[in-house]
Amino acid sequence: MRAAKRLLALILSLFVSMLSTLSFMGCAYEPIEPDDEDLTVVGQVEGKDVYLEELRFVAYTYRDILTAQYGEDIFEGDEADKYLDMLRELVYSNITANYAILLLCEEVSIELGNATVLEKVNETIAESVEEMGGMGKYKKFLKENHMTDHFYRFSTEISLLENELMYVYVDDLLLIEDDDEEIYDIIKDDFIVVRHIFVSHTTEGASDRIETANQRLSAGEAFGDVMADVGEDTDMTEEGLFILEGYMTQAYEDVAFGLKVGERSDIVSDENGYYIIERLEMSVPSLMMQFDYLKELYQTYTFYSMIDEAQAKLTFVPNEACESYMKDPFNS
């Protein structure tokens, strides 16, 4: 479940990431008013209303995750109910993500509706519209991603509040370690270094490709050679990747953290695809070269673990409108 939450967070952040890469054009766009259906209350989290626009976005997001893993036609035919139940569990357990952040922000007096934050939200929307080529293409973008302008603005505000909350946790409340010497020791003790051969579930013949890669390794071919030939993770290098718990999916970590240095896993499958994982020895020069990045990584994932802990205490309580929608979410 943790990996799914991470993916949703990444999807939401994708919509607001343009803020850091665009130059503001100076235009302003009035919010697009959602219709009454979009603002249908479908349930609550800790007394906060959840609207259909959010439920719909989360449902479509996890539909894409499930169909990538199990097939495009899983919501049709004899097993449709099984996958709808799986979808419902994912949606209901992960729709609490935004509200965990909101509640943690409220604890430190960071509130929705801050004028400075709302101004930044408006800038983000304006930049998005300009980058996409105008309001028409922006509306098309929203439709294709099953979003409304109202929910996009809400998600953007949550993302900005989340950034402010992390700053408070590190610099004001000292809830997250910031001392370099202490973090160096944490990296040495808690991180491992791995490299992997990854094939996405969406790749044609994915299971055959990863099985062939495993056979080549068993026949004595160098891991790096097979990784370069078969692997689809463009960020993976011969030197490997520093990871700590919470960085990858649970299925991946269960295997990776159980390997000894120099050991290689069998084929591992998670919701993203197939992996063959090799654990590498940690290089101190490599650690020092990447220290600033690893420090930020440690602080970020410590922060996310705190959000996960808060989210685990929350429950989405659906109402009749929600249950009705989730019976047939993609034809509603």
Residue 65: pLDDT band (50, 70, 90) is confident
* Per-residue tokens: 257: 């953290």
The answer on pLDDT for 19 being more than 50 is: no
DSSP H or E run through 183: helix 180-190
> Around 89, how many Cα atoms within 13 Å sit in the side-chain half-sphere?
8
**Strand locations in the chain (E):** 41-45, 48-51, 192-200, 241-243, 264-269, 273-280, 316-318
Please give the residue that has the higher pLDDT: either 132 or 9: 132
Note whether 40 and 321 are within 8 A (CB): yes
Q: What is the pLDDT of residues 279-311, one digit of tens each?
A: 999 999 999 999 999 999 999 989 999 999 999
Q: How far is Cα 144 from Cα 243, in angstroms, rounded to an integer?
A: 34
The pLDDT value given to residue 35: 94
Q: How far is Cα 280 from Cα 68, in angstroms, rounded to an integer?
A: 30
Residues written for the chain: 332
What burial letters (b/e) apply to 40-75, b meaning 16+ CB within 10 Å?
A: bebbebeeeebbbbbbbbbbbbbbebbbebbeeebb
**Average of per-residue pLDDT across 314-328:** 97
The pLDDT value given to residue 331: 83
The answer on pLDDT for 34 being more than 50 is: yes
What's the chain's Rg over C-alpha atoms?
A: 22
Q: Domains, the chain, ranges and CATH?
A: 2-176+305-327 (1.10.4030), 192-281 (3.10.50.40)
Instruction: Give the chain's end-to-end CA distance (angstroms, integer).
Output: 26
Q: What is the pLDDT of residues 114-130, one digit of tens each?
A: 999 999 999 989 988 99
The pLDDT value given to residue 271: 85
The pLDDT value given to residue 25: 46
* Per-residue tokens: 269: 């499958």
Q: What is the pLDDT of residues 191-229, one digit of tens each?
A: 999 999 999 998 999 999 999 999 999 999 999 999 999
Residue 13: pLDDT band (50, 70, 90) is low
Residue 84 makes CB contacts below 8 A (sequence gap 6+) with 75, 326, 327, 329
Nearest to 148, CA basis, from 10, 38, 14, 27: 38
Which burial class, exposed, middle or buried, applies to 223 when counting CB atoms under 10 A from its CB (0-12, 13-18, 19+)? buried
